[in-house]
Amino acid sequence: MKHTVKLLVGSMLAIALTACTQQAADDDATAAAPTETAEEFVARVNEELKELNREGGAAGWVRATYINQDTAILSSLANERYAKWHSETVAQALAYDDMELDPQTRRALNLLKLGTSLPTPDDDAKRRELMEIATEISGMYGEGKYCRSENECIPGAELEQLMQQVRDYDELLELWEGWREISVPMRDKYRRYVELANEGANSLGYENLGEMWRANYDMSPDEFRTESERLWEQVKPLYDELHCHVRAKLGEVYGEDKVPQDGPIPAHILGNMWAQEWIAIYDLLEPYPGVSDLDVDSTLTAKSYSPQEMVRSAENFYVSLGMPRLPDTFWARSQFTKPRDREVQCHASAWGLDGGNDLRIKMCIEPTADMLRTIYHELGHNYYQGAYRNQDPLFQGGAHGGFHEAIGDTVVLSMTPDYLAEVGLIGSAEESDQALINRQMQKALDSIAFLPFGKLIDEWRWAVYAGEISPEDYNKGWWEMRERYQGIAPAVERTEEHFDPGAKYHVPGNVSYTRYFLARILQFQFHRSLCEIAGHEGGLHSCSVFGNEEAGAKFQAMLEAGQSAPWQETLEKLTGTQEMDASAIVDYFAPLMGYLEEQNEGRSCGW
């Protein structure tokens, strides 16, 4: 979904997924003379990892669903224990670096070293300090509220809803500024966090944590940076046309004094707390008002869909592809609604605990189409986790991060009017030319609007970790990137007293964001391949593979591979190619691109 967070199997908590480091030179003797063969070492690591994952997953789940001081301690201790184990284990793994090994063993050892988003320093005290900071800033986010007065405090989930619903310029600005107060106390902690995480990355042989993250894509860090830029350039022309049109329409709504037609769009009026997706302001942008309105919200309300029934709807889609039903434990242990008696993280996430044998989702579900799409997305994670549960723990993960996020998004592309009508979520599947443009506009406000945001979050962090953006310029660097990539800017002055990146979950949560950018590329590539397998005829936008078990079998084969092979080989199982390709997005949105170019004639585009 949108701003979703997935806990990969073997991760500790979204605050630190996992933590690792290389033990210092004291272990050199052990590294020089291993007492096990590499194959025996990997087998032992996998066994130990099963137990650590079980413990870490339980601690992470309790922390996310019972936010208090006690669960913070438990989570931090579990993370610290894992970090110590990983530190020692990675040090032992170095003994096999110069040996000739079979490809699978070598891959397992490499994943052991790189399978972390937060490496920790060698020193026990520093390791503990980093784990405590990670737990603390994540808790700050989870407990965050904007208090208009002593008696009126609005939690983050409710603020997100208000940002979608409110249309008053000044009230939106108040809510936008109010939420960003939660991240001000994170600023100094984050500076120290970066120092310690970089020290951990140094001990693994990387210049900084950003370089280490980029090395985890079966190519060099520099090659990956080039690859992500290539994919962005494929889709940038479509984003530029959408930005131009949206800015013009918002200028009509709020006035060109508030929305200048030659500059960036104010960040608070795009229907989302972070301006990352713009679907909530579709009512202001609808090309042909009232034409084939896919009003799923009304159906969910009229038919009194419960949160569990909404999840059943998503499950039924996956089952129609030949995949199994979710286990009974999923229904017994998941968090579907926000409890009244405690603080929880409402941010949607999918959990594959106990090696994928204990699947759960964590959400605070409301009866909206947006939430329904989120559920379809989250179950994509769960079905992926379940599919690769028979892989060794070191191979239990997505082929790369973007794969995991793309699975559910691929299924969401099959939620066409025909599909929604077939399962009773809308009354009519009318698809005139005008209806098609309306639907494509909705989808573009979700998917295309997101692309530059999905790319820049980690671009900012890469620059921070590399020292290219200093702590004194955290906010300045943040807003420079947001303007350069997205063409948005704050409507009020933001200074270095603020820490606006921390107001986005994935920054204090230490969740790499490049996966979401890649997922938006891959979902269309996956969708095109599935539609070809299903024998679909017609535009890519009209294809749904609901009920096609042949396509489902190909899909499942890719999922079952997990990260047991380079992502290029896994990609080929479904698509027949080893290269990510954004051209499927261009194909999918061809009708809308023509419409936008026509609307933008005579306008001054760009910023």
DSSP string, 9-26: TT---TTTS-EE----GG
Position 601 in a domain? no
In a domain, 57, yes or no: yes
Provide the pLDDT confidence category of residue 258 given band limits of 50, 70 and 90: very high
133 occurs within a structural domain: yes
Query: Is residue 114 included in any domain, yes or no?
Result: yes
- Using the predicted structure, report yes or no on whether residue 65 has a pLDDT greater than 80: yes
% of the chain with per-residue pLDDT over 70: 94
Please choose, from the candidates 4, 2, 61, 68, the residue with its C-alpha nearest in 3D space to the C-alpha of residue 347.
4
Lowest mean pLDDT among 193-207, 489-503, 552-566: 193-207
83 in any annotated domain: yes
pLDDT band at 204 (very low <50, low <70, confident <90, very high): confident
Average pLDDT over residues 68-73: 92
For residues 352 and 21, which has the higher predicted lDDT (pLDDT)?
Answer: 352
The DSSP H or E segment spanning 134 is: helix 124-142
Give mean pLDDT, residues 310-331.
98
Any domain includes 21: yes
How many structural domains compose the chain? Answer: 1
Distance from the Cα of residue 114 to its chain's centroid: 19
Q: Which two tokens stand for residue 455?
A: 């790319």
pLDDT, mean of residues 71-82: 90
Asked whether residue 25 carries a pLDDT value surpassing 70, the answer given is no
Residue 26, pLDDT > 50, answer: no
Q: What is the pTM of this model?
A: 0.83
Query: What is the C-alpha to C-alpha distance for residues 494 and 449, in angstroms, rounded to an integer?
Result: 23
**pLDDT > 70? residue 335:** yes
Cβ neighbours of residue 601 closer than 8 Å, sequence gap 6 or more: none
Round the average pLDDT of the chain to a whole number and report it. Answer: 91
Average pLDDT over residues 120-149: 91
Extract the tokens encoding 562: 């997990």
In the predicted model, what is the mean pLDDT of residues 424-434?
A: 86
Residues in the chain: 607
pLDDT the model gives residue 32: 54
The answer, yes or no, to whether residue 6 has pLDDT greater than 60, is no
Contact 321, 555 (CB under 8 A): yes
Q: How far is residue 436 from each of residues 288, 335, 426, 523, 584, measured CA to CA in Å?
A: 10, 36, 15, 20, 17
Which domain range does residue 133 map to?
Answer: 8-138
Does 20 have pLDDT greater than 60? no
What pLDDT score does 21 carry? 36
The pLDDT of residue 30: 40
Average pLDDT over residues 449-455: 97
| pLDDT at 33 > cutoff 80 | no
For the segment 274-300, the average pLDDT, to the nearest whole number, is 91
**pLDDT (0 to 100) of residue 91:** 85
Is 204 part of any domain? no
Q: Is residue 127 domain-resident? A: yes
What is the three-class DSSP state of 469?
coil
